[in-house]
Structure 1
Amino acid sequence: MAGLEESYLSQTANLFLALVRYLLYPSYFSFNCLTSLYCPTFQEQKESSKSSFPLKRLVLTVLWAAMFVLLLPITALLLPLRCMLVSLRRPFRYSEHHSERTCLLEKTAQRAMAAGEYKFSIGSANICLAPEILSRMNHLPDVDYRSVNIGQRIKEDQFASHQMLLPSNGSPARTNGPQKLETEVSHVSTWFPQLDFLCLQEAWSSYHNKVLIEELHQSFPYIVHDVGVHAFNVNSFILNSGHLVASRHPIEAVDFKPYKNFVDHGKIISMGLTSVKHVNILHQALTELLSIQLQLGSQRSKGKNVAYVFNTHLQSYQGKHEIIPRQLDELLEYSQVFMAKTRRAEDNIAFCIVCGDFNMDNLSPADEAHTRHRIFELFEDFPRLKPGQDKPWAIGTEMRQDRMMDRAVSTPEFLKQAVEDATLRQCYLIDADITEHSKESLVYAPVKMDGHVKVRAVPEGGRRRIDYILYDKQYPVEVKGYQFVTRLASLTDHIPVAMEFTCSRLL
């Protein structure tokens, strides 16, 4: 288990790692530009009939190949150094940034808490911020554009949801708590609610995460990122876990444990569980803004509320291998160990939540055994009725990659309209009828049509729900809203989920 205090060795490794990444960037950029020319997305394949494309590709191939070859000596020298440095540092980076605005929002939240009107909210999203070539394999090009826009859209939603809390003069407003969730009317929303915690998966690219974190820090003072253990037997020193956790509440302890079970592309990803302990959840409001910042870093007294949030991403395309249930076993083991090591006798655990991309759904034949895993006896999945049956309003969260860039789902409003229509939904979300976890069945599965070439409506149509927010039944919460969020339309191949809840266990 790792606290927030960083050792001198880890600090030094991170400083040199930042320099090495900076020096490697031209090589990284040229390699991605070169390989991307030969990895067209579904959308580009539809437009490849343009006569100028072959000539353009030839010219760019020569340009990027020449640049990459010229940089090979530097790359060959720095890559081994990069591998050594990532193995020396601790398995995560922690960033804390406070502004006048975040302090005001925290003080306003305390007033809502004091009035007994505070509702927590947590969101989870797979954003596929990988190096350009890997993003293109998922038919999501232009990581530069997407990283900026993902951060901006989340930030805009947090600003919008806080407008009722902060008046124009900048002083805390008197408020019936945060805004009501749109889920009180509809279970599909075009915007993120006011979030206390945000768990992201596939935030792999350290170059693009910097932009994303700058946007998120305007609403979330505490961020854990660049998470992963680097070793030959874990990820071959290639990709980290892709986990990022942003919070409005102080963080006391963080840890990451890589899974021991993985196959295929899992050998280049540091798959595992990110564990975060939050302290002083809704601590008593302080009178001075400066005191808030001092208090956040001070020794906590007895009788404080704490909460645990776990972020994970399980194996995709496991095929005939039973990797997901083994990783779920490890998830339970690692989370229990982390809680046992970090919990003090005086701690009051307000809630414990696990979220992430599980790469399994509750309806598909391939996942029938997974739905009966012990995790669902210990944790509650709100959209689920029982193994093999979701609540009627639950929809899928995994999009059809060949159609996710269609104009009909290109905006949050358009995507909301599409997924709320039971028939139209099947055109854009994967059906929950998977018999084997393979790329062919998940990426290339056709939309079901009848004899008149019309979409054939089926009960499992567009309902492959693989993104989860689970809460520990030992520390129950009262769910006030559950949303499928279309805010990141055209920016990722997942539909994020969010849950708002109240907690009766607060001191």
Structure 2
Amino acid sequence: MALRESPFSNCFLEGLHTVGWGLILPCFWFLDRLIAVCMSTSLERAQRAEQECYLHPLKVFFGSILFLFLFLATAPLAFLGFLLWAPLQVSRRPFSYHQEPLSSPAPCQEGERTRGFELGATKATFGFATANVCLLPDSIARFNNLGHTQRRAAAIGQSIVQGVNRPHIRIFVDSPSSCGTLSPSSSLLPGPTNNPPGSYGATAVTDGQPLPPTPVVGHSDCGPGDQATGEIPTTPAKSGDLNDVARIPCSDNEEHPPSAEPVVSNSNQNADEHGRKGHRNPPRALRNQGGCAGSNDVPWEVSPLFPANVDIMCLEEVFDKRAAGMLKDTLRPLFNHILYDVGVYACQPPGCCCSTFKFFNSGLFLASRYPLLEAQYHCFPNGRGEDALAAKGLLSAKVLVGQSHGQKNVVGYFNCTHLHAPEGEGEIRCEQLNMITKWIHEFQQAHGKPDEVVVFDVLCGDFNFDNCSPDDVLEQKHSLFEEYTDPCRAGPGQEKPWVIGTLLEQPTLYHEDVRTPENLQRTLESEELRRKYISPPVALEGCPMVYPDFGQPWVGRRIDYILFRESTVAKHCRAEIEEYTFVTQLAGLTDHIPVGMRLSVTLEPDDAQADD
């Protein structure tokens, strides 16, 4: 059964809700500006120092008076709107759903790469990504040294489109000792450009509006004129462009000059020329800690672009309603199915797990190329402090990825969450992990069918604890990690040597080393620089900490996870990680490092032919 798009059961309730929120919004916006005008990010302070601007105190003084007056003037209307809006939350479904019309297929749908098991194939790959984007109301985001929420939302959406809607280039080294595949690095695709001085983070700004990011290269339906305009193509890429192959001649006995460029096998000559013009650095290999591709470790890379052809993406901290709408409008040409405004508001009826008043929703945002068959949200009942003001919880979705040869539906389960944030409260997070395990099991029991083939079960999000801090030892030993596989984890309290922390230090977000995607990429690849910009582990109170252990690399806090489980998938289904990616494309736009994972799934003949 298809999901209903509106969170309300009829148009009358939806109309009342719109009127109520319309009366609240002006007062809310003036309050937001009243606080924001008094707070500056470190980037804004640096810009004022460079420009020798001494009018800022006057701006703060008169701006505060103006916004305070407007806030008080609109407060009576907001109160009336609240009386209309709050009771309606009881009848509101805890998410909104957008489905793009079938007449507008998602890009890459006709690609050479099999999207799921739509054609009855026995093998497919699925791309997942997660990012905490800190899209709070502007005044609150400034406490995290991030401002201009609407501007950042537009830039984040365009960055995701730029990274995801590009050819999935595979690069091979013609060498007898070649150990595997090279990654589609910035040497073949134009990465995000460096910003001019004074730009906002990783986004150049003209007259208060973000400039479009660097155009995507490699789409056969984009002519020279389209590339020059910098517009992001939203039409489907043709099949020949999705799996382009670049071969690099290589011999064990021959050295090539640094200027040698790879030859890209691409039917689109124009895109090929653009790819060569964008060449800057030698291609970077998908690294494997064990050496060759045949080892048991995970191929990984640090990329200045989001992985190509991501199928399902989860964003956290999309608390601002207007920012969520902007992201939905930007991403919907790529992702036909979007869940946004996820969570509950105000007070819920007795017996509901959320007993306290909620000012904000969960901040979860899910975008999928595949149809959503079922979706369910649960709110954590044990939030404390500032976290109790938001309806953090778990969002579970069941997606249809195709049909097997036996005409069975091939489905996958995708779960995303955002756990309790304050440090030193591991007991609360452990309780929430217990709830997650229980809720996922109940969701799959309620919506699973015996004639379906389950090919993946993924859990991702911002867990707000890492695998190296002594303060997080309770969470590190939780039984969830016995059910789900964490590709980055060697064991409780021990990361694999190649892992990189995903939480950036907020005071240094705009330093030159981390301000642009390419600079942040170089920083993450250097252990010495990582120590300056990645948040260090949290020590137990009153206990000295020695980190890292002798002979171990410095990792930092990795709190953004993508986990997968094999025990709940079909009996004859085999999954392995094709690549794991740390993404730097949102440099200057958020204080987290997004992560991506590509899962290769193979159905054995028993399932593929429905012989079981």
What is residue 56 of structure 1 aligned with on the other side? Answer: 59
Relative to structure 2, which stretch is displaced further, 427-436 or 366-375?
Answer: 427-436
What is residue 111 of structure 2 aligned with on the other side? Answer: 108
Q: Which amino acid aligns with 1:159?
A: N
What is residue 273 of structure 1 aligned with on the other side? Answer: 394
Q: Work out the percentage of aligned pairs sharing the same amino acid.
A: 29
Answering whether residue 317 of structure 2 is matched by residue 212 of structure 1, we say no
2:523 to 418, 431, 440: 418
- Cα gap change, 1:2 to 1:324, in 2 (>3 Å): farther
Equivalent runs, 1:82-481 vs 2, <5 Å: 82-98=85-101, 102-103=105-106, 105-108=108-111, 111=114, 118-161=124-167, 167-168=220-221, 172-174=238-240, 177=243, 184-185=286-287, 187-193=301-307, 194-232=309-347, 233-234=354-355, 236-279=357-400, 281-283=401-403, 303-320=408-425, 322-435=427-540, 459=552, 461-474=554-567, 475=569, 477-481=575-579
Relative to structure 2, which stretch is displaced further, 204-213 or 325-334?
Answer: 204-213
TM-score by length of 1: 0.85
Cα deviation, 1:386-439, whole Å, max 9, x if unaligned, reads 1111111110000100001212211110111111110101111101244369xx
- Cα gap change, 1:219 to 1:182, in 2 (>3 Å): farther
1:85 to partner: Cα distance: 2.2
Does the aligned pair in 2 maintain the 1:397–1:464 contact within 8 Å?
A: yes
Q: Which amino acid aligns with 1:196?
A: D
Relative to structure 2, which stretch is displaced further, 389-398 or 157-166?
Answer: 157-166
What is residue 15 of structure 1 aligned with on the other side? Answer: 15
CA distance in 2, matches of 1:103, 1:48: 44
Task: Find the structure with the greater CA-based Rg.
Answer: 2
- Three-state SS of the structure 2 residue aligned to 1:426 is helix
1:47 to partner: Cα distance: 6.3
1:37 to partner: Cα distance: 2.3
CA distance in 2, matches of 1:234, 1:427: 41
1:36 to partner: Cα distance: 1.2
Q: Which amino acid aligns with 1:466?
A: I
1:319 to partner: Cα distance: 2.6
Cα deviation, 1:321-344, whole Å, max 9, x if unaligned, reads 611111000000011000000001
Cα deviation, 1:225-254, whole Å, max 9, x if unaligned, reads 111123434451310000111000010101
CA distance in 1, matches of 2:343, 2:125: 31
* Larger fraction in helix: 1
Structure 2 unpaired stretches of 5+: 169-215, 223-235, 247-282, 288-299, 348-353
Does the aligned pair in 1 maintain the 2:8–2:14 contact within 8 Å?
A: no
What is residue 26 of structure 2 aligned with on the other side? Answer: 26
1:65 to partner: Cα distance: 1.2
What is residue 486 of structure 1 aligned with on the other side? Answer: 584
1:498 to partner: Cα distance: 0.2
CA distance in 2, matches of 1:99, 1:9: 23
Does the aligned pair in 2 maintain the 1:34–1:61 contact within 8 Å?
A: yes
CA distance in 2, matches of 1:104, 1:129: 26
Q: Which amino acid aligns with 1:270?
A: A
TM-score by length of 2: 0.71
Does the aligned pair in 2 maintain the 1:234–1:258 contact within 8 Å?
A: no
Q: CA RMSD in A?
A: 3.1
- Cα gap change, 1:370 to 1:51, in 2 (>3 Å): same
What is residue 38 of structure 2 aligned with on the other side? Answer: 38
- Three-state SS of the structure 2 residue aligned to 1:161 is coil
Number of residue pairs matched by the alignment:
475
Q: Which amino acid aligns with 2:424?
A: G
CA distance in 2, matches of 1:236, 1:107: 47
CA distance in 2, matches of 1:178, 1:435: 50
CA distance in 1, matches of 2:61, 2:346: 38
CA distance in 2, matches of 1:19, 1:182: 53
Does the aligned pair in 2 maintain the 1:119–1:177 contact within 8 Å?
A: no
